[in-house]
Structure 1
Amino acid sequence: MGCSICPGDQKFQNVVLLSISFMLVFTAFQTLINIEQTVLTSVQIHDATFTGNAYISSAIVYFFFSLCNWLAPPVVSLLGPKWTMVVGSVIYSVFIATFLWPNTTLLYTMSAVLGFGAAILWTAQGCYLTLSSSPETMSRNSGVFWAILQSSMFFGNSFVYWQFYGSKEISTEMRQIVFSVLTVISVIGICCFVFLRAVSPFRQEGDPDSDLNLRVIRDSPVDSMTKSFRLFFTNKKMLLLSVTFFYTGIELSFYSGVYSTAVGNTSTLVEAKRLVGLIGILVGAGEILGGASFGILATRTVKFGRDPVVLLGFVSHIVAFYLIFINLPNESPLRPIESTAAASYLNPPWVGFLMLAAFLLGFGDSCFNTQLFSILGNLFPESSAPAFALFKFTQSAAAAASFFYSSKFTLMVQLSILVVFSILGTLSFFIVEWGEASRSHATFDAVISEDNDDNEQLLPEEGEEEE
Structure 2
Amino acid sequence: MSPEGKRLFNIVVLGFGFMFMFTAFQTCGNIEQTVIKSFNNTEFHGSGYTSMAIIYGVFSASNLIAPSVVTVIGPQLSMFFSGLLYSGYIAMFIYPYTWSFYTASVLVGIGAAVLWTAQGNVLAINSTDDTIGRNSGIFWALLQFSLFFGNLYIYCAWHGHVHITDKDRQTVFISLTVISLVGCFLFFLIRKPDPEPTAPSEQSQSQSESSESFSAASSPDVGLCSQALDAFGKAFKMFGTKEMLLLSLSIAYTGLELTFYSGVYGTCIGAMTRFGQDAKSLIGISGICIGVGEILGGGVFGMLNKCNRFGRNPVVLLGLITHYVAFYLIFLNIAISLLEFKFGCKIRLY
Per the normalisation by structure 2, the TM-score is 0.87
Q: 1:299 to 1:67 in 2, by over 3 A?
A: closer
Instruction: After TM superposition, give the deviation of residue 106 of structure 1 in Å.
Output: 0.7
**Which residue matches 1:339?**
341
Write the mapping of 1:170-319 to structure 2, written as runs, cut at 5 A. 170-199=164-193, 208=202, 214=209, 217=213, 220-233=227-240, 235-270=241-276, 271-293=278-300, 301=307, 305-319=311-325
Contact residue 267 and residue 338 of structure 1 kept, 8 A: no
Q: 1:225 to 1:177 in 2, by over 3 A?
A: same
Among 90, 95, 102, the alignment partner of 1:108 is 102
- Cα RMSD after superposing both structures: 3.0
Instruction: After TM superposition, give the deviation of residue 47 of structure 1 in Å.
Output: 1.5
Among 48, 63, 66, the alignment partner of 2:57 is 63
Q: Specify the code of the residue in structure 1 equivalent to 2:347.
A: N
**Which residue matches 1:18?**
14
Instruction: After TM superposition, give the deviation of residue 256 of structure 1 in Å.
Output: 0.1
Contact residue 147 and residue 289 of structure 1 kept, 8 A: no
Contact residue 8 and residue 126 of structure 2 kept, 8 A: yes
Q: Matched residues in 2 for 1:247 and 1:305: separation?
A: 23
Instruction: After TM superposition, give the deviation of residue 250 of structure 1 in Å.
Output: 1.1
SS at match of 2:92: helix
Q: Matched residues in 2 for 1:294 and 1:36: separation?
A: 31
Instruction: After TM superposition, give the deviation of residue 136 of structure 1 in Å.
Output: 2.2
Among 325, 330, 348, the alignment partner of 2:331 is 325
Q: 1:251 to 1:87 in 2, by over 3 A?
A: same
- Report Cα offsets for 1:126-152 as digits up to 9, x if no partner: 111111111222222222211110100
Q: 1:110 to 1:310 in 2, by over 3 A?
A: same
SS at match of 2:96: coil
Per the normalisation by structure 1, the TM-score is 0.66
SS at match of 1:268: helix
Instruction: After TM superposition, give the deviation of residue 206 of structure 1 in Å.
Output: 8.4
Q: Matched residues in 2 for 1:40 and 1:205: separation?
A: 60
Contact residue 23 and residue 150 of structure 1 kept, 8 A: yes
Q: Matched residues in 2 for 1:164 and 1:348: separation?
A: 28
Instruction: After TM superposition, give the deviation of residue 338 of structure 1 in Å.
Output: 8.2
SS at match of 1:134: coil
Please, which runs of 5 or more residues in structure 1 have no aligned partner? 351-467
Q: Specify the code of the residue in structure 2 equivalent to 1:275.
A: L
Q: Matched residues in 2 for 1:76 and 1:349: separation?
A: 54
Q: 1:192 to 1:308 in 2, by over 3 A?
A: farther
Write the mapping of 1:377-456 to structure 2, written as runs, cut at 5 A. none
Q: Matched residues in 2 for 1:138 and 1:322: separation?
A: 35
Contact residue 56 and residue 109 of structure 2 kept, 8 A: yes
Instruction: After TM superposition, give the deviation of residue 309 of structure 1 in Å.
Output: 3.9
Q: Does 1:36 align with 2:42?
A: no
Q: Specify the code of the residue in structure 1 equivalent to 2:281.
A: R
Q: Specify the code of the residue in structure 2 equivalent to 1:83.
A: L
Q: 1:349 to 1:188 in 2, by over 3 A?
A: farther
Q: Specify the code of the residue in structure 2 equivalent to 1:254.
A: F
**Which residue matches 2:217?**
none
Contact residue 81 and residue 127 of structure 1 kept, 8 A: yes
Instruction: After TM superposition, give the deviation of residue 299 of structure 1 in Å.
Output: 8.7
Please, which runs of 5 or more residues in structure 2 have no aligned partner? 214-223
Contact residue 75 and residue 118 of structure 2 kept, 8 A: yes
Q: Specify the code of the residue in structure 2 equivalent to 1:18.
A: L
Q: Matched residues in 1 for 2:184 and 2:297: separation?
A: 26
- Report Cα offsets for 1:194-242 as digits up to 9, x if no partner: 1111236768878829959949938700000000111111x32222222
**Which residue matches 2:221?**
none
Instruction: After TM superposition, give the deviation of residue 319 of structure 1 in Å.
Output: 0.9
Q: 1:229 to 1:175 in 2, by over 3 A?
A: same
- Report Cα offsets for 1:26-67 as digits up to 9, x if no partner: 100000000010000001xx1211111100011111111111
Write the mapping of 1:158-173 to structure 2, written as runs, cut at 5 A. 158-173=152-167
SS at match of 1:170: coil
Q: Does 1:140 align with 2:134?
A: yes
Q: 1:114 to 1:331 in 2, by over 3 A?
A: farther
Q: Matched residues in 1 for 2:194 and 2:173: separation?
A: 38
